Amino acid sequence: MAARLIDGKAIAAEIRREVRLDVAAMDAQTGVVPCLAAILIGNDPASATYVQNKARACKEVGITSVRIDLPADLPEALLLQEIARLNSDPAVHAILVQLPLPPHISEKRVLETILPEKDVDGFHPANLGGLLVGKPLFVASTPLGILELLNRSNVGIEGKHAVIVGWSVVVGKPTAFLLLQHHATVTICHIKTRDLAAHTRQADILVVAAGKPGLVTGSMVKEGAVVIDVGVNRLIDGRVVGDVDFPRVAEKASLITPVPGGVGPMTVAMLLRNTVDACRRIRDAGCSQGAAGDYIG
Ligand code: GUN
């Protein structure tokens, strides 16, 4: 194998150590400890596990977390009321609503109700739009994690051709804009892209977030490319694999993320970082509410 592994587990552990020191310093200087409220609706086991992992990670770094469990048949209006309550609670600095939501609840209305200053998932349209103009309050954790992996692996971004496979609002599009902000030339490929391989072969940095195991094969990758695999696919034999044919692509790439242990661990680490940033910003503004209107317009 020619490629060097980008060890997301080790890099995420480093970020968590940094966050722990930040939280301790904040506590010592101001007596304020960041607080994340996580809302879980219904009893989907995967969502419950994600929320549990986030709460555990908070605890490890000294962030307070509050978990709010709500029934799957909760009327949407009551969920929106609960979010509004958290928006105006000065002791809560960060809010996330675990997705997916039950079908009777509008994801759009829910995400738009979270105050952008507390939207540590970065899914509010004000934060997504902020990324477009280069000034978001929060960027979603996975794109942020991808950028950290590149930075901490000393991968220069400026002037490189970054090709993103996948145009989702939570990964593909924000990753493209982050890389653009760092002066990459960016191509976004998606389900309708003709001759995908012709695009991926041009990539100096290839980010694959399509949710299709084995989508990117060795012949689709340029010699020496940096490959970031965001896919998490569970096969029928129980194995978890990415979107990239790892053994073949690793023969061509210079750096590659494994699955698991690449991008995945970064997502929670960056959520912790966003939570500390939310707390700091709210504390510095001297209130828990107010500036959202500047972004909403
Ligand atoms: N469901 C799957 N990933 C995520 C995430 O990053 N944030 C939230 N809120 N829900 C999710």
133 has a pLDDT exceeding 80: yes
Instruction: Say what the pLDDT of residue 1 is.
Output: 58
Give pTM, 2 decimals. Answer: 0.94
93 has a pLDDT exceeding 70: yes
Tell me if residue 54 is catalytic: yes
Binning the chain into helix, strand and coil, the percentages to the nearest 5 are 45, 15, 40
User: What does CATH list as the number for 30-115?
Assistant: 3.40.50.10860
CA-proximal residue: ligand 1, atom 2 (nearest): 99
292 lines ligand 1 (CB under 6 A): no
Q: Which atom of ligand 1 is nearest to the CA of 121?
A: 7
SS (H, E, C) 37-74: EEEEECCCHHHHHHHHHHHHHHHHHCCEEEEEEECCCC
233 has a pLDDT exceeding 70: yes
* Alpha carbon of 222 to ligand 1 centroid (Å): 32
CA-proximal residue: ligand 1, atom 9 (nearest): 98
Encode 71-97: b = buried (16+ Cβ within 10 Å), e = exposed. Answer: eeebeeeebbebbeebbebeebbbbbb
CA-proximal residue: ligand 1, atom 1 (nearest): 99
pLDDT class for 11, splitting at 50, 70, 90? very high
* Alpha carbon of 98 to ligand 1 centroid (Å): 5
Residues of the chain with CATH 3.40.50.10860: 30-115
* Alpha carbon of 159 to ligand 1 centroid (Å): 31
DSSP 8-state assignment for residue 101: P
Exposed / middle / buried, residue 136 (Cβ in 10 Å: 0-12, 13-18, 19+):
buried
Cα dihedral angle (279, 292, 76, 168), rounded to 10 degrees?
Answer: -80
Residues of the chain with CATH 3.40.50.720: 141-264
Instruction: Say what the pLDDT of residue 286 is.
Output: 77
Reported CATH class of domain 141-264: alpha beta
148 lines ligand 1 (CB under 6 A): no
* Candidate list 121, 204, 243, 245, residue with the active-site label: 121
Instruction: Say what the pLDDT of residue 217 is.
Output: 98
Tell me if residue 52 is catalytic: no
98 lines ligand 1 (CB under 6 A): yes
CA-proximal residue: ligand 1, atom 8 (nearest): 98
* pLDDT digit string, tens, across residues 156-198: 999 999 999 999 999 999 999 999 999 999 999 998 999 999 9
Q: Which atom of ligand 1 is nearest to the CA of 38?
A: 9
Q: Name the nearest CA neighbour of 181 among 128, 134, 247.
A: 134
Tell me if residue 98 is catalytic: yes
pLDDT class for 135, splitting at 50, 70, 90? confident
Q: Name the nearest CA neighbour of 258 among 1, 8, 2.
A: 8
* Alpha carbon of 164 to ligand 1 centroid (Å): 20
Most ligand 1 atoms within 8 A of CB, residue of 44, 68, 98, 138 to mutate: 98
pLDDT class for 285, splitting at 50, 70, 90? confident
* Candidate list 7, 98, 119, 204, residue with the active-site label: 98
